[in-house]
Structure 1
C-alpha cells in the first residue's frame, strides 16, 4: 500500500483549500502549480519574467520542505497565457535556475487563462535523494 505525505511550509505561498503545496509518494515529490504571486496571493508586477522568478523561488521553497531541490526535478510543466509573447521571456529566467547540462524534461503549453490573471504557472515532479 502506498503511503503519501502531504507537504506544507509556511515559508511558501499558501495553497488554496482545494489542493496541497506538494505530495510525497514513493521517493518523489509532486509539486502543485505555482503562480508568480506573493504570500497574500497577489500577482507580482513586472510581467512574465518577474512571475517566473517568483514561481520558481516558491517551487524551490516547497521542494526544500519536501527534502528535495531544483537539482532533483525530473519533469516540469509550464503553462503560459500568451505563448507567442512570453515563451522566450520566460525561458530567459527559467535558464537561470537550472544547470544547462542537466535540464529536466519539460512541457510548455499555451492556455486561455490562468488563476488570478497570471501570465504563467509551473509545476514539477522531483526525486527525493
Structure 2
C-alpha cells in the first residue's frame, strides 16, 4: 500500500493533495509553488530566478521530511508560464541545485497558467537507497 505524506511544516497545499506519496521505495513529490511555508499568504517572489529558488527550497523541505535530499531525485517535471522568456534564466537557477554529474532526468513544459499566479512549478520523483 502506498504511504501518503502531508507535513504540517510543509508548504500549504493549494489544492487537495498530499505533499508526497511513497510506494516500494519510490517517492512522488507533488509539484510545489513558490509560496513561503512560513508566510503562505505573502506575495510570491518576483521573477523566475527567485520563484525557482523558492520552489526548489520547498521541494528540499519535503524531501527532508522524508529523510531524503536532492541526491535521491531521479526525475523532475518543470512547468513554466513564460517558457520562451524564462527558460534560460530558469535553467541557470535550476542547475545550481544539482551536481553536474548528478542531474535528474527532466521534462520542461510551457503552460498557460499555474496556481497562485506562479511562473514555475516543479514536481519530482525520488528513490530511496
Tell me, yes or no, whether TM beats 0.5.
Answer: yes
Equivalent in the alignment of 2:80: 80
For 1:97 and 1:4, the matched residues in 2 are separated by: 28
Tell me which stretches of 4 or more aligned residues in structure 1 moved more than 4 Å.
Answer: none
Task: Give the conservation status (yes or no) of the 8 Å contact 1:43–1:51.
Answer: no
Aligned pairs, number: 127
Report how far residue 115 of structure 1 moved.
0.6
Equivalent in the alignment of 1:96: 96
* RMSD (CA atoms): 1.3
Cα deviation per residue 1:44-63 (whole Å; 9 max; x = unaligned)?
A: 22211111000000001101
Report how far residue 9 of structure 1 moved.
2.2
Equivalent in the alignment of 2:125: 125
Equivalent in the alignment of 1:4: 2
For 1:75 and 1:64, the matched residues in 2 are separated by: 17
Equivalent in the alignment of 1:106: 106
Equivalent in the alignment of 2:65: 65
Equivalent in the alignment of 2:30: 32
For 1:86 and 1:22, the matched residues in 2 are separated by: 27
For 2:55 and 2:119, the matched residues in 1 are separated by: 11
Under a length normalisation based on structure 2, what TM-score does the superposition of the two structures give?
0.92
Cα deviation per residue 1:30-79 (whole Å; 9 max; x = unaligned)?
A: 00010111221545222111110000000011011122211110110000
Cα deviation per residue 1:69-112 (whole Å; 9 max; x = unaligned)?
A: 11110110000001011011111111110011111000001001
Gapped regions of structure 1 (runs ≥ 5): none
Task: Give the conservation status (yes or no) of the 8 Å contact 1:37–1:54.
Answer: yes
